Structure 1
Amino acid sequence: MKKLILASVLSALAIPSFAHSDKSPVGLDLDKYRTHVKTLASDEYGGRAPLSAGETLTLNYIEAEFKKIGLKPGFGDRYLQPVPLAKVTADQNMTLNIGSLNLTNGTEFTARTQQISERIKLENSEVVFVGYGINAPEYGWNDYQGIDVKDKTVIVLVNDPGFATQNAALFKGNAMTYYGRWTYKYEEAARQGAKAVFIVHETAPAAYGWGVVQNSNTGSKFTLIDDDNNLSQVGVMGWIQHQNAKQIFAEAGLDYEQQKQKAAKPNFKAVSLKTTANLALNNTIERAQSYNIMALLPGSDRADEMVVMHAHWDHLGTRTDKKGVKHIYNGAVDNASGVAGVLELARIFSLRAKEQPFKRSILFTSFTAEETGLIGAQHFAKQPPIPTKKIVSFLNIDGMNVNNSVDYILRYGEGVSEMEHYLNDAAKHQDRFVKGDPLPQNGLMFRSDHFALAQEGVPGLLFMSLGDTDPDYIAHKYHKEADDYDPNWTLGGVRQDISLISDILATLANNDDWPKWLEESDFKNRRTQDGK
């Protein structure tokens, strides 16, 4: 791809720039933006959980805005794409017995399942420590080599050996690879035939505290349903507190910290912990249907090629504690702020298209169940309104900078795809610099909806400011009740980022480029197979 400054591109294409001289996007209405966030993050919407009354309110609101803007339905003749879900609610009155230890649910461990089964039982299941639980031939690494874990309970470490050692020659050093994500740990254990997986929680390698684990893995969870009722997935998906893991190892006559050090070295051998696990996971299963929502701005010359502009609409909903007190997780920044950004971009682009249509179509989307594991995005990636080989790129907002403007934009991943060139050019257009992910060990690149599309070969960009422009956010607001709308937000960051995203979106919607993957990966292979 030729690296072009976006201002020149826009001029050459005879498209009016989206920014005034002060870099504010033409047509941006921050009052409208503020109203969107305030409404979506209000108590009335109850935290926007899938399959709740808050979902209905949210979808109705977004659809009404799309219609008001004048966008066409994005899924055939409808704005809504059905997403078949199972709502799995585990009885929280459970205890995990490992050896002589009786661990308390919520405070010492969590356990859930995505199998469509009312009862899953661990009964004297042998417990094995398999290090990081990674099988990565390209890195010459296989923690499962030489051991059969079929029907066993495995304990694994979070993140990967590169982070643990800070050795740039191991995996990607400090930057997390997909092998470090909790999702991968469960996927690989299932491929190995394990009955249960418990990930040891430590705040630094996990990138969040135990409270996030507890809030995200207790209560009702959602999953897509395959033809085999998800029986190919691991039966028990769990986490264990760090201190409790130490106790389990000590009972086996092992030092946890020493074993962790061994696990970070090549040729690690899995270790039996000479004990068994017992757990009864009793579930209530409800089959239901949630929805993705999407609206189309048709292109002129190449309407069958599409650029996607996205933000997930869901959050954690409302939960009732043991005292009967309701707690509403409104998710104002995560991700009402992103949905509001998509709505404003949709309105701005619709107005611009009336003056001069864009050559490619633009699909404005908002998916369900991102917080449960990118479920809506996975369904869209497998059942898109057009073939993924026709999707040029996927731009994803997951939490906007609602505070003051900054002189940089964050880039997640490096040397991944040519979309990074677009980010560089758009930042330069605003006299900003591109700042590499300050916490690459957190693996944010794998934790939002664009990743589901990347797995199908579609390159994209993640726009996320959580925890960088507001250092207090991760510690005290992320996935907590404190993530509320604040009328004192300046929205300076929103103003500049919508301008930047506008430039990238406009360029992609009018050129004939197909941004390519830069690094060798399954993503690149999938795109090549699709013919682009």
Structure 2
Amino acid sequence: MNTPRLLGLLGLLLLPAASAAPFVFDQQSYRQDVQTLASDEFEGRGPLSQGETLTVEYLENAFKKMGLAPGFGDSYRQSVPMAKITADQNMQLKVGELVFNNGSDFTARTEQIQPSITLDNSEIVFVGYGINAPEYGWNDYAGIDVKGKTVILMVNDPGFATQDPEVFKGNAMTYYGRWTYKYEEAARQGAKAVFIIHETAPAAYGWNVVQNSNTNTKYTLVDKEKNRSHIGVMGWVQHEVAQKIFTAAGLDYDKLKLTAAKPGFKSRSLDLKANLEVKNDIELATSYNVAGLLPGKTRPDEWLVMHAHWDHLGKTVHEDQTRIYNGAVDNASGVAGVLQLARHFKDLSATQPPARSMLFSAFTAEETGLIGAQYFAENSPVPTKQLVAFLNIDGMNVGKGVDYILRYGEGVSELENYLDKAAKAQGRWVKADPRPQNGLMFRSDHFALAKQGVPGLMFMSLGDTDPDYIAHKYHQGADDYDPSWTLGGVEQDLALISDILEKLANNNDWPKWLEASDFKTRRAQDGR
């Protein structure tokens, strides 16, 4: 260990990055924001709930008090048309003679606006990873018809399974490994239902996360066709359940999945039928994105966005027991960070107004599929070609400062250069995502904007400095505000983000995508 170097770096941790005016952290107001947003009174900030009403009012009042202009024309709110879908949890999945219980063995839900979805002797087809990726020469749906059928498939992608850097991206998950892609592709192939086989390592979280996230109320945007193009049943099954199903089909799942990670794998019917009824209580309602705008002085039509999603999992009631998922770190900590940055730049604007406009935002329904971000991306207050960059906080390091900053993705966009320089100015180093197999690049609101070509940076510290967080707090009832948090990590990260924001708000740069991707193609279509 290079002790002198380490001590020197630690001594610089809390020094603000070079900026027009150093960022000053107001710990008291930060604590107040997190404590309020993560209180039981806010009921876990579930969309379309009393918790949303309180959250949206709190954020709107905060932006008004700062003196920011409304982010959406004459309003601080952007209406997001949504459906609130609550599946009856009293259901069973039957496969041949096997019967599985909801929650402990499987989960099932839908985004279709229908009172019930029924699988009636639906043929089950194993489609490996459920991936159709021409650029990788991979198509698990080649030569098999899954229209109207139930597909069962594996999470993540063949790169993770083989750990071969020549297969997809090796250990680093691609978007083809995300559960959202699995449902989207199966719907394009005409399947009626999807069951993803859960294993903790490739999924990056335990079954408890799947269960907590999929056995309560879920939300979706609503299209003119009542979401009939979406997959009918969005399901997960435990690894042990999959083994039983494959055994009933006369197959060894753990052996078959090895062949599914190799080129030339052929999908196959299991010669088994699935039976299930998903009954839904549906409420059509409006949720809200919230944002305040600091207009630019010389180039007001060029916008820079600083963001954190405001929602969490809300509350659940089972057998008269209420559980509130307060989401203190995920993501009250991030929202409070955005408010800190907004106050800083609003105060600074009295003497040094930004050249570009700065939008400080908090979107709804990130936890259920980036819904608020998707709606914003498709209905931005200015064309997305005028959005310079989208910086996104999704969970902050509420403990002590560290001598590094995490980078999600590598060689993705020129924004990484800004991260490098800001970290160096603080005496820190940039640490590559320690869990690239988790696919965090695709799991937060910046990804919805990336699909529209807008480059972004994500700042997330979930579990990096607290090993207990993912196992016992992430998406669980224990993610509560703790007055013993030291907040050294929050202070140093907000100073770093402030540095990046200040530069982007005042220079002429339009950060470019570096690697060939749909994002780069989309940006090029906008002439950027």
Structure 2 distance, partners of 1:268, 1:209, is: 28
Structure 2 distance, partners of 1:368, 1:190, is: 25
2:133 match: 136
Q: How does 1:353-372 map to 2 (within 5 A)?
A: 353-372=349-368
Task: Give the SS at the match of 2:41.
Answer: helix
1:310 match: 307
Cα-to-partner distance string for 1:407-465 (whole Å, 9 max, x where unaligned): 00000000111111110011001010000000000001100000000000000000000
Cα-to-partner distance string for 1:473-493 (whole Å, 9 max, x where unaligned): 000000001000000000000
For the structure 1 residues 325 and 23, does the alpha-carbon distance in structure 2 shift closer, same or farther, using more than 3 Å as the test? farther
Please point out which of 51, 70, 75 is paired with 1:78. 75
2:429 match: 433
2:215 match: 218
Task: Give the count of matched residue pairs.
Answer: 514
2:454 match: 458
Task: Give the SS at the match of 1:246.
Answer: helix
Answer yes or no: is 1:400 the counterpart of 2:404.
no
Task: Give the SS at the match of 1:318.
Answer: strand
Does the Cα contact within 8 Å between 1:409 and 1:427 map onto a contact in 2?
Answer: yes
Structure 2 distance, partners of 1:270, 1:406, is: 47
Please point out which of 150, 155, 164 is paired with 2:152. 155
Answer yes or no: is 1:208 the counterpart of 2:174.
no
Structure 2 distance, partners of 1:284, 1:473, is: 33
Answer yes or no: is 1:191 the counterpart of 2:188.
yes
For the structure 1 residues 380 and 284, does the alpha-carbon distance in structure 2 shift closer, same or farther, using more than 3 Å as the test? same
Cα-to-partner distance string for 1:22-50 (whole Å, 9 max, x where unaligned): 99953321110011000100111110000
2:162 match: 165
Cα-to-partner distance string for 1:11-32 (whole Å, 9 max, x where unaligned): xxxxxxx938999953321110
Please point out which of 513, 516, 520 is paired with 1:520. 516
1:287 match: 284
2:246 match: 249
Structure 2 distance, partners of 1:531, 1:58, is: 38
2:444 match: 448
Cα-to-partner distance string for 1:57-78 (whole Å, 9 max, x where unaligned): 1111111111111100000000
Answer yes or no: is 1:227 the counterpart of 2:224.
yes
Task: Give the SS at the match of 2:209.
Answer: helix
- Kindly provide the amino acid, as one letter, of the partner of residue 477 in structure 1: K
Does the Cα contact within 8 Å between 1:25 and 1:495 map onto a contact in 2?
Answer: no
Deviation at 1:271, TM superposition (A): 1.5
Cα-to-partner distance string for 1:96-134 (whole Å, 9 max, x where unaligned): 111111110000000000001111110111000000000
1:3 match: none
Task: Give the SS at the match of 2:237.
Answer: strand
Q: Where does the alignment leave 5 or more consecutive residues of structure 2 unmatched?
A: 1-14
Answer yes or no: is 1:113 the counterpart of 2:94.
no
Answer yes or no: is 1:380 the counterpart of 2:376.
yes
For the structure 1 residues 441 and 86, does the alpha-carbon distance in structure 2 shift closer, same or farther, using more than 3 Å as the test? same
Deviation at 1:509, TM superposition (A): 0.2
Deviation at 1:213, TM superposition (A): 0.3
Structure 1 distance, partners of 2:511, 2:525, is: 15
Structure 2 distance, partners of 1:349, 1:360, is: 12
Task: Give the SS at the match of 1:257.
Answer: helix
TM-score of the two chains, using structure 2 as the length reference:
0.96
RMSD of the TM alignment (CA)? 1.3
Does the Cα contact within 8 Å between 1:25 and 1:496 map onto a contact in 2?
Answer: no
Structure 1 distance, partners of 2:164, 2:398, is: 36
Structure 2 distance, partners of 1:249, 1:272, is: 11
Structure 2 distance, partners of 1:357, 1:327, is: 45
Answer yes or no: is 1:341 the counterpart of 2:344.
no
Structure 2 distance, partners of 1:192, 1:20, is: 50
Please point out which of 479, 484, 487 is paired with 1:488. 484
Does the Cα contact within 8 Å between 1:23 and 1:499 map onto a contact in 2?
Answer: no
Structure 1 distance, partners of 2:90, 2:318, is: 13
- Kindly provide the amino acid, as one letter, of the partner of residue 262 in structure 1: T
Deviation at 1:217, TM superposition (A): 0.7
Task: Give the SS at the match of 1:39.
Answer: helix
Does the Cα contact within 8 Å between 2:16 and 2:426 map onto a contact in 1?
Answer: no
Structure 2 distance, partners of 1:89, 1:494, is: 36
- Kindly provide the amino acid, as one letter, of the partner of residue 108 in structure 1: D
**Identity level (%):** 69
2:324 match: 328
Deviation at 1:318, TM superposition (A): 1.0
Deviation at 1:285, TM superposition (A): 1.0
Structure 2 distance, partners of 1:496, 1:216, is: 32
Structure 2 distance, partners of 1:246, 1:21, is: 56
For the structure 1 residues 411 and 24, does the alpha-carbon distance in structure 2 shift closer, same or farther, using more than 3 Å as the test? farther
Q: How does 1:265-276 map to 2 (within 5 A)?
A: 265-276=262-273
Structure 1 distance, partners of 2:454, 2:93, is: 41
Deviation at 1:219, TM superposition (A): 1.8
Task: Give the SS at the match of 1:340.
Answer: helix
Does the Cα contact within 8 Å between 1:24 and 1:499 map onto a contact in 2?
Answer: no
Cα-to-partner distance string for 1:194-232 (whole Å, 9 max, x where unaligned): 000000000000000001001111121100011111101
Task: Give the SS at the match of 1:46.
Answer: helix
Does the Cα contact within 8 Å between 2:155 and 2:178 map onto a contact in 1?
Answer: yes
Please point out which of 448, 467, 473 is paired with 2:469. 473
Answer yes or no: is 1:36 the counterpart of 2:33.
yes
Structure 2 distance, partners of 1:25, 1:217, is: 43
2:46 match: 49
Structure 1 distance, partners of 2:277, 2:181, is: 24
For the structure 1 residues 296 and 474, does the alpha-carbon distance in structure 2 shift closer, same or farther, using more than 3 Å as the test? same
Q: Where does the alignment leave 5 or more consecutive residues of structure 1 unmatched?
A: 1-17
- Kindly provide the amino acid, as one letter, of the partner of residue 307 in structure 2: H
Structure 1 distance, partners of 2:161, 2:51, is: 41
- Kindly provide the amino acid, as one letter, of the partner of residue 179 in structure 2: W
- Kindly provide the amino acid, as one letter, of the partner of residue 458 in structure 1: V
Structure 2 distance, partners of 1:135, 1:52, is: 38
2:12 match: none
Structure 1 distance, partners of 2:270, 2:393, is: 43
Please point out which of 255, 259, 275 is paired with 1:258. 255
For the structure 1 residues 22 and 309, does the alpha-carbon distance in structure 2 shift closer, same or farther, using more than 3 Å as the test? closer
Does the Cα contact within 8 Å between 1:99 and 1:276 map onto a contact in 2?
Answer: yes
- Kindly provide the amino acid, as one letter, of the partner of residue 83 in structure 1: V
Task: Give the SS at the match of 2:349.
Answer: helix
Does the Cα contact within 8 Å between 2:131 and 2:139 map onto a contact in 1?
Answer: yes
